[in-house]
Structure 1
């Protein structure tokens, strides 16, 4: 029996766990060892940790949590059940019980269906100018359009390079104003579907259009569909909600209140599972906030029980 079971051992989960163990709560962190940013060589825009490999940040975090008595288990959570306490089931049949649950499982990036794209993901197939922009500055950058958000993405990467090409691929139909804006910033536009990415010696060299034409590029940016990893919560009645920006649905997420609590009392969530667009630093801050909220929730419960015992 634990005070809190944290499902997910990334930045949000470890930050929440650290806040809780420092408040003398018994905490178990369950992680499947598959962080979203595993393909990336470094974490950027994390103050004092800029450029650090993700695995190093998580190893340091685990050491800190363990130093205060936190425990860890490896595995994939398949179900969470609610009774007097919560029971967490793993794929291997192991189960654990906890008074509160903190979900920090993050999300999965679903890539456009283009041959060779997945193999280069996190290397020279990228998605975020704040995560990777500095590292690809000045290079020949391609933007693969699958939604209206691609025009905005192209404009953002134009800040980083004079050589940006927007491949319309599966959309959108540009307005006259968008054509003019792209031309004003000298962003090239290529119509036609991209069939595959060209790779030589493990390095992206260009994109091949249907019909065979190859356009050389050093980097290709894409818009992924962001799917929250939360299917194990359906038994509690928790479902993800579609997320959209500028009228475009880009993924889904768990809905939480300002404290990080879901619609199920006692179940909290933080990080990319609730905020698909957040970076590692955002996730860490959200995890800390949720951990403090959980501790406050436990204190309130313990106070009620103590008062009831005193008055009986």
Structure 2
């Protein structure tokens, strides 16, 4: 690391690496700070990325790191713990160093907080999954369960019925009274069974999910256990936007959490700071995150160029 860069990218996932690739190819001195905690690490494969469908997330990131290195982009395995704005941006790293940049890309993503049901965290990314577009094809026509935690879980149950005709919505912490008439009508039309009662645990045998047990059941039997082969859950998304908060960025509430206000290129309300990937929205899957990183990188290069030309400087 040189200590001074034109752009520092905080976050080494699809969005951050994509921004860094564009910036490196634009001959911008760029650093990626990567804490090494990708959101999709539990998944064995990623789907829906044209030409990369089925690739493991780890392989995808390894290829991305190799690509940015070819263009002179630096990468450090560290965590950005603080950022201040003065004549430039000063980014303090957990390892003790401080790096400076003219522009910042925040690509710190989000964390998934899973329901506290025994077995869910242990099997997340295998037969406990959250996104039908990411995993629906792989579990198609199996016996699905959907673990309800909010009224939005009804929508999830309706969506996954496209991939299986055997779907059961376990209301869990959702009261029956919270289901609207439209919910009930649509669930019936989709053939989704509705089971009230809190889920106690997942039933696992021979290394795979075999059922969902309600409270009152016991591991030795005698309780209410519903055979299921795949369980969809809706994790509570926790955006990792602490650095944007330190910079005073403007935020907005959404049904999936609080995210920074950005323009179509990812520019936040803080001049010189872009947010991309899951740091700016819940629905930014890998292909979307990579696209957002590309847009931000190209925008930053053009903005730096015009800024320097207006100042009479040719870098």
Whether 1:180 aligns to 2:191 is: no
Report the Cα distance in structure 1 between the residues aligned to 2:209 and 2:99, rounded to whole angstroms.
45
Partner of residue 120 from structure 1, selected from 101, 120, 123:
123
TM-score, normalising length: structure 1: 0.93
Aligned length: 303
Report the Cα distance in structure 2 between the residues aligned to 1:240 and 1:194, rounded to whole angstroms.
35
Whether 1:207 aligns to 2:212 is: yes
Runs of at least 5 residues in structure 1 that lack an aligned partner in the other structure: 245-249
Whether 1:143 aligns to 2:149 is: no
Report the Cα distance in structure 1 between the residues aligned to 2:96 and 2:234, rounded to whole angstroms.
37
Superposed CA deviations along residues 207-243 of structure 1, whole A, max 9, x for unmatched, are 1111112111111101111111111333211364321
Whether 1:26 aligns to 2:29 is: yes
Report the Cα distance in structure 2 between the residues aligned to 1:255 and 1:68, rounded to whole angstroms.
31
Report the Cα distance in structure 2 between the residues aligned to 1:116 and 1:7, rounded to whole angstroms.
33
1:247 corresponds in structure 2 to none
Whether 1:223 aligns to 2:228 is: no
C-alpha RMSD of the superposition: 1.5
TM-score, normalising length: structure 2: 0.92
Report the Cα distance in structure 2 between the residues aligned to 1:211 and 1:132, rounded to whole angstroms.
31
Partner of residue 290 from structure 2, selected from 284, 304, 309:
284
Of 192-201 and 142-151, deviating more is: 192-201
Q: Is the 8 A contact 2:213 2:226 kept in 1?
A: yes
Q: Is the 8 A contact 2:127 2:208 kept in 1?
A: yes
Runs of at least 5 residues in structure 2 that lack an aligned partner in the other structure: 218-223
When residues 162 and 265 of structure 1 are mapped into structure 2, their CA distance, relative to the original with a 3 A threshold, is same
Superposed CA deviations along residues 182-222 of structure 1, whole A, max 9, x for unmatched, are 22322111000111112223322211111112111111101
Report the Cα distance in structure 1 between the residues aligned to 2:262 and 2:249, rounded to whole angstroms.
11
Report the Cα distance in structure 2 between the residues aligned to 1:254 and 1:177, rounded to whole angstroms.
32
Report the Cα distance in structure 1 between the residues aligned to 2:121 and 2:87, rounded to whole angstroms.
44
Segments of 4+ in structure 1 off by > 6 A?
Answer: none
